[in-house]
Structure 1
Amino acid sequence: MHPPSAHRPLLRTLATACVAIVALLLGLLGLAAPASASAHPGAAARAGAAAGTFRQVTDFGSNPGNLQMYEYAPAGLSSGAPVVVALHGCTQSATDYYNDSGWAKFADQWGFAVVFPQTTTANNIEKCFSWFDSSKDTRGNGEAASILAMVTHAEQQFGSDTHRVYVTGLSAGAGMTADLLADYPDVFAGGSVDSGLPAQCATTLTAASGCQMNDQHLTPAQWGKKAKDSDPGYSGPWPRVAIWQGTADYTVYPVNATELVAQWTDVWGIGQTPSSTRSLPGSTTETLYNDATGNPAVASFSISGMGHGLAVDPGSGAGQCGATGAYFLDTICSSYYTALFWGLDGPGGGGGGGTGSLPAPANLKVTATTDTTAALSWGPVDSAVSYTLYRDGTETGTTTSTHYTDTGLTAGTSYTYTVAAVDASGAAGAASGAVTATATGGFTPRCFTADNYHQVAAGRATTSGGYVYAAGSGQAMGLYNVFVTHTLEETAPGHYIVADAGCPA
């Protein structure tokens, strides 16, 4: 729940009772103010990095949204590197997000620039990005146009790869992230919506709290239309979208993650049936929805028991990042897994590969699995002297043949693989499309058919506002009563999906 500071009355600054009601709604959008950057542990960690400089840019171009631009880039950043745009939450600042989110660590590690837009109390008393205002969050207008100007400035300044621009944000920043993905699908290759809302859920401030707390009862096609109508006539390619949500979030309710999945799977035209599910650290369940080529297009990360905030995992490990603070919650490093999903760990994206000239191997497939191994094969590439395999974006082995068996896997766990051909000079070429292998054993999926009332009573579903949602996945199940029946499949401990069409799905 918000501390009292996030709900403070705003009547002292407002002239009319109507505006006072608006201010109270803003309280629902607010986050607690973090500690100052100078006192925060994340600030000390970044200060010790022999890397680039975090600085404000004052001349980035057209600024109809009255925003401020901050940026961070590693020293000596190569041309052709990606750009990540990172949007803070209400009452936060660009400095807070730089210090605590973990993005600076991976910018150093994998070589990309980060743009940190900042809004102020001149725009919104709680310093929220205006994801609920159609005059500010639509293509060519207001804050959205200012952020696009920052992207253009960064691309020109760093010589960035314009096909590898990504956007992420927390809470109100996440709501703006979803809007930006819909407004500018020709600009952003991917996005990450952290404790946020679907694109264009609300077009006025008075509708904002309803979006945050309630099911809007729209079909996937209706959600998809909201996104596609933001840039009429655009037909793809679409951004790849990661969705992060805590199951105990009572500021932006988990139903928003369900709606986001519905929206972006519809945009991609790939349906709502998950392609794979696996367990990650921090009581996190990852659910992937693949495109027609077998690559993940939409990823949902559900964190059991987490409230409202950005998931971080302080520490020096490869998969750790960030610093805890107000609404930076110690669970899992969401920035790390988002970066892997976007392919920021590899020069060409997609989780592996390199700068060599050889093409990507075709027809990568999983041929067999055990509880500890996954066997894979692929088509040969002319002039290749060997092949490098990547598991979850990290090199796992090499071979001179067109098949490989990866070992040391955990039973019941899913892994994503790509492969790249290596030439005589030792340079790896482009990475293949990804495939997912799930080690056998471990958790055995189970199916339960019951009415919604008894699914909730058994802990397999939750209820909010008279409606029922599958535990873990958050999929909508309809009214909370004994007259609506569904089959739920438990795909991981405590994670259920609707499987009315057949179970296992």
Structure 2
Amino acid sequence: MSDHSIHTKPKNGHQLSLLSEFGTDPGSLSAKTYIPKNFSRNGALVVVLHGSNQSADSYNIGSGWSALADECGIALLFPGQRSTNNAIGSFNWFESDDFLRGGGEPLSIHQMITEVVDDHGVDPSRIFITGLSAGGAMTAVMLATYPEVFAGGAIIAGLPYRSADTLMEAFFRMQGYGGPSDRKLEAFVREASEFDGSWPTISVWHGSNDGTVDSSNAASIVRQWQSVHNVEGLPTRVETVDGFPRRVWCNADGQEVIEEYIIEGMGHGTPISAGGNDGLGEEGEYMLEVGISSTRHIADFWGLTAGARGRTGTQRIFFP
């Protein structure tokens, strides 16, 4: 195991480590990790991408990922943007140098993942990625450009892969205007790599009242990946989870490959539920207390909490 980490301690007491070496870093990003004491070799890794005007530490505190890591024994990697790359700390998901495989920010994140996998003996078949806003859009970039790396991804208040190629287009897409056709969006994913295997599962979360990234982007993300997973049309079923609708698309083998939560009345941010025995995270800017923990339910979807809890008491509607 290489030894090149420096420890920092955020407010909630969970200690993150700065990953100081992880390859050539063409995107000039930073990286922090959280490896809980109960992590065992061949455990899972979750990559967590913060949103604009956030940091790895602030997003960890708000979302509760390190608390869940302690529960479930999973490793965490937090890529971080630098102000020298983007004035408000956004990942550059709309820049051609940063949305293609083999260069820029995607390659930096891939190099971080490779380092953490090697350092800690992570199971390469159990690597997942999630992010909020610009981090959600970069999550879409990573899922498209390096699909062989990830078993699943969760996009929160994000945008489809290659929905914008310039900063001006990015602003328009964030407001729900224009954008490539569904056929083109599917083609972008398929052309982003030479992958020919089982695609990552996709979890999509968005607030219905999001004034920063219009919720129409959530539907576009779902349609982009429906085509890739060959699960077009109506959802296989709709459930009510913690009072909110969960739409699920299953493939021919019955595997859940896409889920979508639209949180009624919520603005721009990550849905959290901080209270109670299952509570995670802390309410704050872009960390919105709405009574459902996206962190916990995303981990459920990925099978990281198997045996710890389940979706009991959900109401389900099945479609033919």
- Structure 1 CA distance for aligned equivalents of residues 18 and 275 of structure 2: 27
Match of 2:284 among 316, 325, 328: 325
The aligned counterpart of 2:302 is 342
- Structure 2 CA distance for aligned equivalents of residues 312 and 137 of structure 1: 29
The aligned counterpart of 2:248 is 288
Per mean C-alpha deviation after superposition, the further-off stretch among 269-278 and 214-223 is: 214-223
Counterpart of 1:119 in structure 2: which amino acid?
Answer: Q
Q: Deviations over 1:332-363 (max 9, x none)?
A: 110000001111113xxxxx59xxxxxxxxxx
User: Would the alpha carbon gap of residues 185 and 114 (structure 1) be closer, same or farther in structure 2, given more than 3 Å must change?
Assistant: same
Q: Say whether 1:269 aligns with 2:230.
A: yes
Q: Deviations over 1:221-268 (max 9, x none)?
A: 32211111111x322210000000000001100100010010011110
Q: Say whether 1:74 aligns with 2:33.
A: no
Per mean C-alpha deviation after superposition, the further-off stretch among 187-196 and 271-280 is: 271-280
Between the aligned residues of both structures, percent identity stands at 33
User: Would the alpha carbon gap of residues 76 and 333 (structure 1) be closer, same or farther in structure 2, given more than 3 Å must change?
Assistant: closer
- Structure 1 CA distance for aligned equivalents of residues 289 and 68 of structure 2: 18
Alignment of 1:329-478 (within 5 A): 329-331=288-290, 332-346=292-306, 391-392=310-311, 410=313, 413-414=315-316
* TM norm structure 1: 0.59
Determine helix, strand or coil for the equivalent of 1:300.
Answer: strand
Q: How big is the shift at 1:216?
A: 3.3
Q: Say whether 1:165 aligns with 2:67.
A: no
* TM norm structure 2: 0.92
- Structure 1 CA distance for aligned equivalents of residues 179 and 50 of structure 2: 28
The aligned counterpart of 1:301 is 261
- Structure 2 CA distance for aligned equivalents of residues 241 and 272 of structure 1: 16
Q: How big is the shift at 1:218?
A: 4.6
User: Would the alpha carbon gap of residues 216 and 226 (structure 1) be closer, same or farther in structure 2, given more than 3 Å must change?
Assistant: farther
* 8 Å Cα contact 1:215-1:255 kept in structure 2: no
- Structure 2 CA distance for aligned equivalents of residues 85 and 335 of structure 1: 12
- Structure 2 CA distance for aligned equivalents of residues 305 and 257 of structure 1: 15
Determine helix, strand or coil for the equivalent of 1:135.
Answer: helix
Q: Say whether 1:257 aligns with 2:218.
A: yes
Counterpart of 1:102 in structure 2: which amino acid?
Answer: G
Counterpart of 1:257 in structure 2: which amino acid?
Answer: A
Q: How big is the shift at 1:272?
A: 2.4
Q: How many correspondences in the alignment?
A: 312
* 8 Å Cα contact 2:176-2:213 kept in structure 1: no
The aligned counterpart of 2:4 is none
Q: Deviations over 1:466-494 (max 9, x none)?
A: xxxxxxxxxxxxxxxxxxxxxxxxx9xxx
Structure 2: stretches of 5+ with no match in the other structure: 1-7
Determine helix, strand or coil for the equivalent of 2:140.
Answer: helix
- Structure 1 CA distance for aligned equivalents of residues 47 and 172 of structure 2: 27
Q: Deviations over 1:137-189 (max 9, x none)?
A: 21111011000011001101110000111110000000000010000000011
User: Would the alpha carbon gap of residues 291 and 215 (structure 1) be closer, same or farther in structure 2, given more than 3 Å must change?
Assistant: farther
- Structure 2 CA distance for aligned equivalents of residues 220 and 270 of structure 1: 14
Q: How big is the shift at 1:215?
A: 4.5
Counterpart of 1:213 in structure 2: which amino acid?
Answer: Q
User: Would the alpha carbon gap of residues 54 and 264 (structure 1) be closer, same or farther in structure 2, given more than 3 Å must change?
Assistant: same
User: Would the alpha carbon gap of residues 75 and 123 (structure 1) be closer, same or farther in structure 2, given more than 3 Å must change?
Assistant: same
- What is the aligned-residue RMSD (CA, Å)? 2.0
Determine helix, strand or coil for the equivalent of 1:266.
Answer: helix
- Structure 2 CA distance for aligned equivalents of residues 164 and 204 of structure 1: 33
* 8 Å Cα contact 2:270-2:286 kept in structure 1: yes
Alignment of 1:474-489 (within 5 A): none
- Structure 1 CA distance for aligned equivalents of residues 208 and 147 of structure 2: 29
- Structure 2 CA distance for aligned equivalents of residues 195 and 66 of structure 1: 25
More strand by share: 1
Determine helix, strand or coil for the equivalent of 1:314.
Answer: coil
Match of 1:243 among 204, 209, 215: 204
Q: Say whether 1:199 aligns with 2:138.
A: no
Per mean C-alpha deviation after superposition, the further-off stretch among 327-336 and 220-229 is: 220-229
Greater Rg, structure 1 or structure 2? 1
- Structure 1 CA distance for aligned equivalents of residues 132 and 179 of structure 2: 24
The aligned counterpart of 1:175 is 137
* 8 Å Cα contact 1:215-1:256 kept in structure 2: no
